[in-house]
Amino acid sequence: MLPVLVLRHDADAGPGYLAGALAGAGLAMQVVDPAAAEALPGPSGWSAVVSLGGHMGAYEEGSHPWLVAEKQLLAAAVEAGRPVLGICLGCQLLAAALGGRAYPGTGREVGLVPVRLTPEGRADPVARHLEGLAVVSHADTWDPPPGAALLAVSKRYPQAFRLGPALGLQPHPEVGPEAFARWTRAKPPGALERDGLDPEAVIAAVRADAAEQRERADRLFGAWVAQVASR
């Protein structure tokens, strides 16, 4: 099969647990940094496209002009029928690329949060594995594209949507506890405290739930990779 294109926006925000699921299915991946690429490839040479997380906002094209090209690639891949998976920033980019909206939220959502599935989410073979506690790390949010199914929500924000072959996930099922700890400690001083969050307590909670999160990630990514491999 053709390889999977993985768009990585930060050096410390790689494919994580997703890499193992792809390898287990015999799917190669090519990781590309859109900010460093002279030009992004088109959708035709890939089995699927994955857009990962990042520190920038999906709406910050002025500071990060490559975001325009990435949104165009995501939209073209969906139009071509390729499975497209967006995670955190990638979810927001995917929503915007397909006619929704990404914008600053009303506060940070970091750590383990309860995620509730909608009826459409319970019927989705991939998103159904999100129910329960999920690892999140974001301050921006999104409105689903026209015609998309909202699959999951937390108390504060939407958490997943699907539109045809496109699946957007606000949580970070790919991240392990050590990478999550680095991300959290790298945030500006006081950023989490302003939203009533204790960074070290958040890190400890994610670490304590790491085994369960890994099992959930394996189920979720296994289901998504199976969809890719069956096409």
Catalytic, 174? Answer yes
Nearest to 136 by CA among 103, 107, 159, 120: 159
Nearest to 176 by CA among 197, 204, 207, 221: 207
Neighbour count for residue 95 (Cβ, 10 Å): 28
Instruction: Please tell me which residue in 9, 70, 88, 129 is annotated as part of the active site.
Output: 88
Instruction: Please tell me which residue in 91, 109, 129, 174 is annotated as part of the active site.
Output: 174
- CA dist 124 and 127 (Å) reads 5
Instruction: Please tell me which residue in 9, 64, 138, 172 is annotated as part of the active site.
Output: 172
- Rg of the chain on CA atoms, in Å: 16
Active-site residue list = 88, 172, 174
